[in-house]
Amino acid sequence: MRKEHDFLGELDVPDDVYYGVQTIRAKENFNITGQTIDSDFIQSFAKVKKAAALANMLTGRLDKKIGDALIKAADEIIAGELLDQFPVDPIQGGAGTSINMNTNEVIVNRALEIIGEKKGRYDIISPNNHANMAQSTNDSFPTAIKVCISHKSKKLIAALEYLAGELDKKAEEYKDILKMGRTHLQDAVPITLGQEMGSYASSVRRGIRRIKTAVDSIHIVNMGATAVGTGLNAEPKYIKAVAHTLSEVTGETFKTADNLIDTTNNTDGFADVSASLKVTALVLIKMANDFRLMASGPRCGLNELKLPPRQPGSSIMPGKINPVIAEVLDQTCYQVVANDLAISLGVENGQFELNVMEPVMAFNLFNSMNYLTNAVNTFVDKLLIGLQPNSKQCHNWLDKSVGIVTALLPHIGYENSAMLAKEAYTTGDSIREIVLKKGLLPKEKLEHILSPEQMTHPGIAE
């Protein structure tokens, strides 16, 4: 054990860990979720610390030997090392101070080792004086959240593009499969299964654009704002430099906010990102439910789609197979919607110069992005790629439908069409049979009007 102290007193810290006294206190105080910090967030925070060290070295305030050691330690974390040294709960009081200090302590203790010193020699390299130089939790923590969101958004957007691409493939593959369209859960007019798949792809791409726009807006950071946005203890040269060094470290463009006070006390950018995730989730719920309905049955439902069988569907009913992959996408999206509420409550509960609720915002944002990425990839891999149409059943429903009478309106008029519909409902005969029986249209003309090309595109059949 080694002894470490803060202004509350002294604690024993195990010699083999890289965190220190403030992390120990956080472990004791916050046992909320049973989880630890998201690994992407740890690495994002290390990038922020590296950028700060580089900027402080540029101003000449940070000694080069110490700065180089801090940067090397941060690089190890960015590379995926020491991730087990971040044991604090992601939901915590203190506006993220515990996570910030956990990061500072790990970087400093590793930096001490790098220069040949023992862990805990904070008189040589200090978590507060060096790793936190020209910073506060109130600027470094939200900046790390933004870096992490940007990183995670790339994985999520890749998953959504994967989904849209596979839906496009199905749209082409199913372009000639005519089926019954439905409104109000009732028969409407025909559509092709390919057109339906294409509409899902279009809605997913709209979600991608929505997320990209929201994420682009959070590349404005408040590094150099320090505690309340006034820049106390941060040199103007540092404030000017740190967004540039952060851009170099991350490979993305981050800019310093025009109004650091505003950017320190307002977190509406996180609400924008969360809203984009929520709305995308709503679109995915609708799509997943359509798949479930089209696959319902198979004997006593619509049975227009054949989903890949993934597991037995019942502990009591032999042979039952459930649409579990569509169901898990639904449930994931419900959680994203719920997370958005927690984020919204956090955003509106900021007071004066700081929003102390950023930890719960980060926790839910990261979870939403992780969950959506995993669920979308699962949907494509486990359901969409192996999806099969039931063309015969689609044709059967279409043939039995009265809805196709709508295509006859321009040719036989509304009154005759209404008469046909009524007779079809009464007798159970198909529209085709009744039209031909009554001689309302020649067979060739009728087949032309009711062809997939004519019924699923704008215009009137000639």
Contact present, 13 and 21 (Cβ < 8 Å): yes
∠ CA(19), CA(23), CA(29), 5° rounding? 155
Long-range contacts of 62-66 (CB under 8 A, 24+ apart): 62/130, 62/133, 65/115, 66/111, 66/115, 66/125, 66/130
Contact present, 294 and 383 (Cβ < 8 Å): no
Annotated active-site residue 247? The verdict is: no
Dihedrals φ, ψ of 373, to 5°? -60, -50
- 3-state DSSP helix/strand/coil percent for the chain, to nearest 5? 60, 10, 30
Q: Two tokens at 96? A: 């993220």
Residue 122 has a CB neighbour count (10 Å cut-off) of 20
Dihedrals φ, ψ of 353, to 5°? -90, 5
Closest alpha carbon to 139 in 67, 222, 74? 222
Can you list the alpha helix ranges (DSSP code H) found in 89-192? 97-114, 137-173
Residue of 126, 140, 217, 314 with catalytic role: 314
3-state secondary structure of 446: helix
Catalytic sites, residue numbers:
314
